[in-house]
Amino acid sequence: MILSVIAVIFTFGLVIFLHELGHFIACRIAGMRVIEFSLGFGPEIIGWGPKPPEEKKDDTNSGENNGAENKQEFRQAAASEPAEKGQFKGTRYSIRWIPLGGYVQPAGEIVEEAKGEPDEYYSKPWYSRLGVALAGPAMNYVLAFILFTAVILATGNAIPKTDPVIGDISDGYPAEVAGMKAGDRIVSINGKETPEWKNVTEAIHASAEKEITIVYERESKQTTVKLTPKKTTIEGKDIGLVGIAPEVTYEPVPFFKAVSNGAYQCWYWTALTVTTLKDNIVKRQKPDLAGPVGIVTVVSKAAHKGYADFFFLIALISVAIGFFNLLPIPLVDGGQSLLFIAEGIMRKKPSLKVVEKLNIAGFAILIGIFVFATYSDIMRLKTSHDGKKAREAAAASKEAGEKTSSESNKALEQAVKAGSAASQNTVKK
């Protein structure tokens, strides 16, 4: 439990904090004044540098004079800092109680509060703001590249084994719901033997939304299950998936090949996401999203499997966060970037009303995605839980049946013995 909590905090904290660090570095390069750069959310634990006026007011409610003095102190500090590129006195650095990310607050980022000072966010040209917006997702890809490369260097290249033995299994998918586990050897599918893993994938991929019968072996005992592969579209083709992967072996990789593979992983997972989204839209299929609950579950599972799986998963999450922030949704970096590009083409900033309407629409979209992803997580957990309960009930029923059968056999055996004894007594008489 403790390991899971630490793993979740570390994962979210690292990925989101580095995203915000990208924005912060870009602000500094562009000559924008940053009011605050925080690690975490919520109440402040520790901080250094002048506090924003709002926080000064909260800290000094007991004395109006002190509050006025503190506000004046902040204004003097902010006014005294040069607006020249590379000099940023007055930034508040803080660590807060909720260690799940962080945030950057450039001066004048909120249009209504902008004063038109030369070091404010909206006082800078559109391409400077574009650079700041794109720096967050870029940092996510840098993190993913470093982690992919490091894992490949440490463990080697993963080579799938040909044996039909399950190496990993996904929660909530048909195989896990049916009770299958890592280490199970798949003997046959629909009566056909599966001597190699390719036979397993061929049979499952060809059976999207069609019930199949799988015979697998665990501890020298064979079990038969029926399940229905989920239909998934990959590269324009509908295939069936049950949530299993083969065992893998690792081979050493030279440094430059590991670097090349690390970059390829970033490209591969991004391209796969784009292709999957396109297929979902074209074929009007429900996307298989993982929300906070699902991410916490897989992070916890990866943390218990080992450092290689854990850091590889962090890299995948970092790619996902980076890609999501590049989508043209208002409020996220991709939507902001489109506005700035439009401003550069039209040579005119969008009106405040337009920005407000776009932000409201973006907020609604983000809430919708969050609710849908969380619902998907809950349903996935419910399916897994229901499957476990059904297996337990079946096992209990089987055990009760075996017990009843055993008792019946004993009673029959005793009756036979009694009848035999009575027969012998009759013969003796």
Indicate the burial class of 91 (C-beta count within 10 angstroms; 0-12, 13-18, 19 or more).
Answer: buried
Among 251, 273, 303, residue at a domain's last position: 251
In a domain, 14, yes or no: no
Residue 270 and residue 256: Cα distance in Å, rounded? 22
Q: Which residues contact 327 (CB under 8 A, 6 or more apart)?
A: 334, 335
Residue 88 and residue 78: Cα distance in Å, rounded? 9
| CATH code of the domain containing 182 | 2.30.42.10
In a domain, 3, yes or no: no
Output the CA–CA distances (angstroms, integers) from residue 261 to 132, 138, 199, 318, 373, in the order listed.
28, 18, 28, 17, 30
Among 251, 272, 287, residue at a domain's last position: 251
Quick one: pLDDT at residue 270?
A: 94
Q: Which residues contact 210 (CB under 8 A, 6 or more apart)?
A: 228, 229, 240
First to last CA, the chain: 75
Task: Indicate whether 169 and 119 sit together in one domain.
Answer: no
In a domain, 149, yes or no: yes
Sheet holding 221-227, edge to edge: 192-193, 185-189, 212-218, 221-227
pLDDT tens-digit series, residues 290-309: 666 777 778 888 888 888 88
Quick one: pLDDT at residue 88?
A: 44
Task: Indicate whether 197 and 319 sit together in one domain.
Answer: no
Task: Indicate whether 136 and 182 sit together in one domain.
Answer: no
For every residue of 140-206, which 3-state class applies, written as one string?
Answer: HHHHHHHHHHHHHHHHCEEEECCCCEEEEECCCCHHHHCCCCCCCEEEEECCEECCCHHHHHHHHHC
Task: Indicate whether 142 and 48 sit together in one domain.
Answer: no
Indicate the burial class of 372 (C-beta count within 10 angstroms; 0-12, 13-18, 19 or more).
Answer: middle
CB 325 within 8 A of CB 332: yes
Quick one: pLDDT at residue 4?
A: 85
Task: Indicate whether 313 and 348 sit together in one domain.
Answer: yes
User: What is the number of structural domains in the chain?
Assistant: 3
Task: Indicate whether 92 and 166 sit together in one domain.
Answer: no
Domain that holds residue 226: 158-251
Task: Indicate whether 291 and 269 sit together in one domain.
Answer: yes
In a domain, 63, yes or no: yes
Residue 215 and residue 350: Cα distance in Å, rounded? 62
Quick one: pLDDT at residue 386?
A: 65
Among 106, 123, 140, residue at a domain's last position: 123
CB 279 within 8 A of CB 332: no
Secondary structure (DSSP) of 257-283: HHHHHHHHHHHHHHHHHHHHHHHHHHT
Task: Indicate whether 196 and 138 sit together in one domain.
Answer: no
In a domain, 173, yes or no: yes
Task: Indicate whether 181 and 150 sit together in one domain.
Answer: no
Give the SS3 label for residue 114: coil
CB 109 within 8 A of CB 52: no
From 99, 109, 102, 100, select the one nearest 132 (Cα to Cα): 109
Q: Which residues contact 35 (CB under 8 A, 6 or more apart)?
A: 52, 90, 91, 92, 105, 106, 107
Quick one: pLDDT at residue 157?
A: 86
In a domain, 18, yes or no: no
Task: Indicate whether 245 and 313 sit together in one domain.
Answer: no
What is the pTM (predicted TM-score) of this model? 0.76
Q: What is the pLDDT along the chain (429 residues), one digit of tens a residue?
A: 788 888 988 998 899 999 999 999 999 999 999 999 998 888 999 988 887 665 554 554 444 444 444 444 444 444 444 444 444 457 899 989 887 778 899 988 877 777 888 999 988 999 999 999 999 999 999 999 999 999 999 998 888 999 999 998 887 788 988 889 999 999 999 999 999 999 999 999 999 899 999 999 999 899 999 999 988 877 778 889 999 999 988 889 999 999 999 999 999 999 988 888 887 777 776 666 666 677 777 888 888 888 888 999 999 999 999 999 999 988 889 999 999 999 999 888 887 788 888 888 888 888 887 787 777 767 766 766 665 666 566 656 656 655 555 555 665 566 555 555 544 554 444
From 34, 31, 53, select the one nearest 108 (Cα to Cα): 34
> Given the structure tokens 């391209």, which residue do they identify?
271
Residue 322 and residue 273: Cα distance in Å, rounded? 12
The identity of residue 42, as a single letter, is: G
Task: Indicate whether 233 and 330 sit together in one domain.
Answer: no
In a domain, 376, yes or no: yes
Quick one: pLDDT at residue 310?
A: 92
**Half-sphere exposure (CA, 13 Å, Cβ side) for 23?**
28
In a domain, 230, yes or no: yes
Task: Indicate whether 43 and 87 sit together in one domain.
Answer: yes
